[in-house]
Amino acid sequence: MARLNLLEETRFEKLPVSVFENPQKASLSVAQRIGNLIKEKQKNNDIAVLGLATGATPVAVYAELVRMHKEEGLSFKNVVTFNLDEYYPMQPDAAQSYVSFMNDHLFDHIDIDKNNINIPDGTLNLEDIPAFCLEYEKKIGDVGGLDIQILGIGRTGHIGFNEPGSAPNSGTRLVTLDDLTRRDAARDFGGKSFVPTKAITMGIGTIFKAREIILMAWNRKKASIIKKAVEGEISSEVPATYLQLSEHVEFILDEDAASLLTRFDTPWLVKDCIWEETISRKAVIWLANFLKKPVLKLTEDDYNNNGMAQLALDKGPVYNINIHIFNKLQHTITGWPGGKPNADDSQRPERAEPSKKRSIIFSPHPDDDVISMGGTFIRLVDQQHEVHVAYQTSGNTAVWDDDVLRFVEFSIDFSEKMGASKPELNTLYQDMRSFMEKKQPNQVDTPEIQTVKGLIRKGEAIAGARFCGLEDDHIHFMALPFYESGKNQKNPVTELDVQLTMDLLQKVKPQQVFAAGDFEDPHGTHIVCFNIIIEALKRLKKTESWVADCWVWMYRGAWKEFETYEIEMAVPLSPQEVEKKKFAIFKHQSQKDRAVFPGDDAREFWQRAEDRNRDTAQAYDDLGLAEYEAMEAFVRYKF
Ligand code: F6R
């Protein structure tokens, strides 16, 4: 039976949800609960039976349990574990196996008896799987059932590997993975084609029998599936919705994963709000979109019937509110991203003075500058600002091997033709070829291959920046060391990353910094690059007076645009500018046709950029503002 929920604020939520400020705090609380359970059981000479999950979500929980073991003496001698799932087929010693995952993150660092660890066996013959699954269920029952089951959630809504279509009473079994799940796993395996198509997973029915179920989710990427799981109708389309039927479940979320729940996304529908500027703007735009009306046509009734009566009362009459929001939106639009010289700038996004600004466009990968803000880049140069572009990383993991051969072959041919052939080049080339022939998925490239890949992207970035009008000495390649692991998993950020960034900032002393504030980038590189810039600026601020006049504008990469209510500067692009931007993106030939890491969007980067910029213009048009061809959007970050 579904839960009775008497709280107005959470009335859309069909199961208990706790929201933490960040994943770290949430993970500590989950680890604490597990630790307490283990200790409680120890006191009674009992065993604790844990159901465990793998994936990115529980990593910090395991790290905290390891810490509790090492620093507080928490013992796992009385613990029996059952993992949710394992890929099939899968050798336990493979890097991607869930056996390796659990050993690396937990089991190798605690005092658990290895005989007490249970993980579905990915090495079985097909015909032996049903008996194994029955035995797995029986084993759980024999030790008294799961005391606690922790879960992550996939973007398909899967729990364990119970993909859409799974039955609520399903048991442990062999399943076929959803295409989206395989795409999400592609990076770990070095390409989707290497991700197994099947897995052995505990069933929904198995999970349900646990005495306590904790589902954890972090990150904006999970927000929309969390909304469905928590507020949606129970359906096999989203298997996690079955958890609404449990009496023992709790969702533990960070603020980002919770951000689309009604109480956070559209709070006026569930409680009285304090109608400050941002929420008023968000609500009015939401209302206009919801009713498909331009802002200036919203009426008193529209406000009253949609949870916004209080706003109408506090700030009305509603026509004044409409005009106020309309004007605010209007003032975000500017063709002068570096400020309009000699103009009244009191209602403009950027300052008029100094009329010639020094601007640095930081680009995490070598193509984010043109993909995300190519039109604005060109305008800034055309409007005679001193524009610099700084490519923060080499982007050398995202080039195909055959492109490497092509470029090295070119170098050999060219040097021969010029009478300057170098035998070492031929040897290098042969080494590369033989390495590539034997290369395993996800294997780290040789340093030479990494170098060529980096150079290919460097050449493309130069071509793109020149196309936008930059002089060569305004194009900077930072090759931040954190990125140079050769793998998807990057190195930790060090002082050197921050120092290199401080050096460039100090050299240019910019009045404007453009940075990728694109925290949903699936590679995680953008947020790391962003944080480095902010750290560098914060440190410089202590001694350098120019920093006080340096504004940081965030743009978003190829993945997701800002919400309309957030946008503080919208730079319109004419049809010709859209075309020109496309050509700048085309300079990145190694990323064309099929990028190595396209994410889960099949479109090419230039198509995504065009669609996105058109959508932003459309969103303004729908609200009743002028109709532009396309728009690039920015939000100011105050540090
Ligand atoms: C893992 C599992 C999966 C993951 C889910 C989320 O054992 O069964 O359901 O919990 O795919 O994965 P992450 O945490 O990597 O986002």
Asked whether 84 lines ligand 1 (CB < 6 A), one says yes
CA of 531 to the centre of ligand 1 (A): 26
Asked whether 85 lines ligand 1 (CB < 6 A), one says yes
Read off the pLDDT of each residue in 355-374 and give the average, rounded to a whole number: 97
Looking up residue 385, the CATH number of its domain turns out to be 3.40.50.10320
Strands 475-477 and 512-516: unpaired
CA of 5 to the centre of ligand 1 (A): 28
Percent of the chain whose predicted confidence (pLDDT) is above 70? 98
Looking up residue 233, the CATH number of its domain turns out to be 3.40.50.1360
Which of 186-190, 304-308, 546-550, 619-623 has the weakest average pLDDT?
Answer: 186-190
Q: How many residues does the chain have?
A: 639
pLDDT value, residue 3: 60
Residues 383 and 530 in one domain: yes
pLDDT value, residue 346: 97
DSSP string, 412-479: HHHHHHTT---HHHHHHHHHHHHHHHHPPTTPPPPHHHHHHHHHHHHHHHHHHHHHTT--GGGEEE--
Q: Flag whether 419 is in a domain.
A: no
Residues 303-361 have pLDDT tens digits of: 999 999 999 999 999 999 999 999 999 999 999 999 999 999 999 999 999 999 999 99
Residues 87 and 142 in one domain: yes
The band of 66, judged by pLDDT with boundaries at 50, 70 and 90, is very high
Read off the pLDDT of each residue in 487-508 and give the average, rounded to a whole number: 94
Q: How many other C-beta atoms can be found within 10 angstroms of the C-beta atom of residue 45? A: 7
Read off the pLDDT of each residue in 369-397 and give the average, rounded to a whole number: 97
Check if the beta carbon of residue 281 is closer than 8 Å to that of residue 311.
Answer: no
CA of 240 to the centre of ligand 1 (A): 12
User: Which residue, 332, 349, 375, sits at the end of a domain?
Assistant: 332
CA of 57 to the centre of ligand 1 (A): 7
pLDDT value, residue 520: 67
Which of 61-70, 180-189, 502-511 has the weakest average pLDDT?
Answer: 180-189
Read off the pLDDT of each residue in 239-260 and give the average, rounded to a whole number: 97
What tokens were used for 79? 């613990």
Read off the pLDDT of each residue in 149-154 and give the average, rounded to a whole number: 97
Q: Where do runs of H (alpha helix) occur along 383-422? A: 401-417
Residue nearest to atom 3 of ligand 1 (CA): 160
Q: Which of 13, 64, 163, 577 is catalytic?
A: 163
Residues 185 and 323 in one domain: no
Residue nearest to atom 1 of ligand 1 (CA): 54
pLDDT value, residue 228: 98
Q: Flag whether 381 is in a domain.
A: yes
What total of structural domains would you count in the chain? 3
The residues near 290 (Cβ < 8 Å, ≥ 6 apart) are: 306
Q: Flag whether 414 is in a domain.
A: no
- Domain residues for the domain of 314 are 266-332
What pTM value is reported for the model? 0.88
Asked whether 55 lines ligand 1 (CB < 6 A), one says yes
pLDDT value, residue 598: 65
State whether residue 485 is helix, strand or coil: coil
Ligand 1 atom with the smallest distance to the CA of 83 is: 7
Best residue among 83, 88, 158, 219 to mutate for probing ligand 1's pocket (most ligand atoms within 8 Å of CB) is 158
Residues 385 and 272 in one domain: no
pLDDT value, residue 4: 63
The band of 6, judged by pLDDT with boundaries at 50, 70 and 90, is low
Q: Which residues of 184-223 are buried (b: 16+ CB within 10 A; e: fewer)?
A: bbbbbbbeeeebbebbbbbbbbbbbbbebbbbbbbbebbb
Percent of the chain whose predicted confidence (pLDDT) is above 90? 90
Rounded Cα–Cα distance for residues 140 and 146 (Å): 7
Read off the pLDDT of each residue in 15-32 and give the average, rounded to a whole number: 97
Q: Flag whether 94 is in a domain.
A: yes
CA of 160 to the centre of ligand 1 (A): 7
Q: Flag whether 630 is in a domain.
A: yes
Is 416 considered catalytic here?
Answer: no
Asked whether 51 lines ligand 1 (CB < 6 A), one says no
User: Which residue, 315, 332, 349, sits at the end of a domain?
Assistant: 332
Residues 294 and 382 in one domain: no
Residue nearest to atom 4 of ligand 1 (CA): 152
pLDDT value, residue 596: 75
Omega of the bond leading into 130 within 30 degrees of 0 (cis): no
Residues 30-56 have pLDDT tens digits of: 999 999 999 999 999 999 999 999 999
Residues 618 and 630 in one domain: yes
Report the chain's mean pLDDT, rounded to a whole number.
95
Residues 173 and 72 in one domain: yes
The band of 186, judged by pLDDT with boundaries at 50, 70 and 90, is confident
Q: Flag whether 424 is in a domain.
A: no
User: Which residue, 225, 245, 263, sits at the end of a domain?
Assistant: 263
65 alpha-carbon distance from chain centroid: 26
Asked whether 13 lines ligand 1 (CB < 6 A), one says no
Q: Flag whether 342 is in a domain.
A: no
Read off the pLDDT of each residue in 435-454 and give the average, rounded to a whole number: 94
Q: Which has the closest alpha carbon to 360: 338, 382, 333?
A: 338
Residues 124 and 253 in one domain: yes
pLDDT value, residue 522: 55
Asked whether 221 lines ligand 1 (CB < 6 A), one says no
The band of 224, judged by pLDDT with boundaries at 50, 70 and 90, is very high
Q: Flag whether 591 is in a domain.
A: yes
Residues 302 and 364 in one domain: no
Residues 259 and 271 in one domain: no
pLDDT value, residue 181: 92
Residues 234 and 379 in one domain: no
Residues 513 and 526 in one domain: yes
Asked whether 450 lines ligand 1 (CB < 6 A), one says no
pLDDT value, residue 601: 74
